[in-house]
Amino acid sequence: MIRTPLLSIAVLLGSIGTSGALAAQSNCTVDKIRSITPSDAVIDAVKPIAGPVAHCEVTGHIITTDPGPNRVEFGVMLPDSNFNGRYYFIGEGAAAGFVPTTTGEGPLASYYVGTTWKLLSEGFTVAGSDTGHKGLMWDFGVDNPAARLDHGHRGAHVSAVATQAITRAYYAMNQQKLYRYHLGCSGGGRMGAMAVYNHPEDYDGAVVSTGFGGGGSTFFPWILQYVIQHPDSWISPPKLAFLERKVAEKCAGPDGLVRDPNACGFKPSTLQCKGADNDECLTAAQIKLVERVTGPYKIGPDKTSGGFTMTNPTGWSAFLIGASKPTNIDPNNPWALPGAQPPSDPSMLMRGGPGMPPSSYGIAQSMFRGFYFRDAKFDLLKMNFDDKATMQTLYDRYADLGVIDTDISAFKKAGGKLILWAGIDENAVPPNTEIEYFNALKTAVPGRDDFVRLYLAPGVMHCGGGKGPQDTSERLLDKVIAWVEEGKRPDEVVASASVPMPTPGAPAGMAPPPVPSRTVLLCPFPQTAVFKGKKDAFAYDATNWKCE
Higher pLDDT, 177 or 12: 177
**pLDDT of the residue at 111:** 85
Instruction: Determine the average pLDDT of the residues in 219-233.
Output: 96
Residue 179 near residue 85 (C-beta atoms within 8 A): yes
**pLDDT of the residue at 491:** 97
**pLDDT of the residue at 441:** 97
**pLDDT of the residue at 12:** 32
Mean pLDDT of the chain: 90
Instruction: Determine the average pLDDT of the residues in 302-324.
Output: 94
Instruction: Determine the average pLDDT of the residues in 505-517.
Output: 49
**pLDDT of the residue at 330:** 82
| Cα–Cα distance measured from residue 242 to residue 505, given in angstroms and rounded to the nearest whole number | 6
DSSP letter, residue 481 = H
Residue 537 has pLDDT above 50, yes or no: yes
| Banded pLDDT at 105 (limits 50, 70, 90) | confident
Closest CA to 519 of 535, 539, 536, 533: 539
Distance (Å) of CA 6 to CA 9, 19, 96, 344, 475: 5, 20, 33, 54, 17
Higher pLDDT, 341 or 180: 180
Q: Could you please report the per-residue DSSP string of 214-229?
A: -TTTTHHHHHHHHHHH
**pLDDT of the residue at 346:** 55
Count other Cβ atoms within 10 Å, centred on residue 250. Answer: 15
Distance (Å) of CA 404 to CA 372, 407, 444: 15, 9, 12
Q: Which residues contact 68 (CB under 8 A, 6 or more apart)?
A: 146
State the amino acid at position 497 in one-letter form.
A
Backbone angle region of 527, left / alpha / beta, with phi > 0 → left and psi within -120 to 50 → alpha: beta
208 CB-side CA count, 13 A: 31
Residue 125 exposed, middle or buried by CB count within 10 Å (0-12, 13-18, 19+): buried
Higher pLDDT, 104 or 69: 69
DSSP letter, residue 502 = P
Q: Could you please report the per-residue DSSP string of 381-403?
A: GG--TT-HHHHHHHHHHGGGT-B
Would strands 417-423 and 205-209 be described as parallel, antiparallel, or unpaired?
Answer: parallel
**pLDDT of the residue at 11:** 28
| Cα–Cα distance measured from residue 241 to residue 504, given in angstroms and rounded to the nearest whole number | 5
Residue 282 exposed, middle or buried by CB count within 10 Å (0-12, 13-18, 19+): buried
Residue 507 has pLDDT above 80, yes or no: no
Would strands 125-129 and 86-90 be described as parallel, antiparallel, or unpaired?
Answer: parallel
- Angle CA 330–334–338, to nearest 5: 90
Instruction: Determine the average pLDDT of the residues in 209-232.
Output: 91
Q: Where are the domains of the chain?
A: 1-177, 219-399
| Banded pLDDT at 16 (limits 50, 70, 90) | very low
State the amino acid at position 305 in one-letter form.
S
State the amino acid at position 469 in one-letter form.
P
Instruction: Determine the average pLDDT of the residues in 50-75.
Output: 97
Beta bridge partners, 504, equal: none
Residue 503 has pLDDT above 50, yes or no: no
**pLDDT of the residue at 25:** 65
Q: What is the dihedral of CA 3, 9, 14, 17, to 10 degrees?
A: -40
Please state, for a pLDDT cut of 90, what percent of the chain lies above it. Answer: 80
pLDDT digits (tens, 9 = 90+) for 328-365: 888 888 998 877 666 666 555 556 678 889 999 999 99
pTM of the complete model: 0.91
Residue 130 near residue 73 (C-beta atoms within 8 A): yes
Backbone angle region of 339, left / alpha / beta, with phi > 0 → left and psi within -120 to 50 → alpha: left
Count other Cβ atoms within 10 Å, centred on residue 345. Answer: 8
State the amino acid at position 231 in one-letter form.
P
Higher pLDDT, 482 or 352: 482
Range with the poorest average pLDDT among 279-293, 298-312, 352-366: 352-366
Count other Cβ atoms within 10 Å, centred on residue 161. Answer: 18
Residue 415 has pLDDT above 90, yes or no: yes
| Cα–Cα distance measured from residue 275 to residue 457, given in angstroms and rounded to the nearest whole number | 38
Q: Could you please report the per-residue DSSP string of 508-547?
A: TT--PPP-S-EEEEE-BTT--EEE-PPTT--TT-GGGEEE
Q: Could you please report the per-residue DSSP string of 108-158?
A: THHHHHHHHHHHHHTT-EEEEE-TTS-SSSSGGGTT-HHHHHIIIIIHHHH
Q: Which residues contact 331 (CB under 8 A, 6 or more apart)?
A: 365, 379, 381
Distance of CA 502 to the CA centre of its chain: 26
Where b means 16+ CB within 10 Å and e means fewer, 26-57 reads: ebbeeebbeeebeeebebeebbebeeebebbb
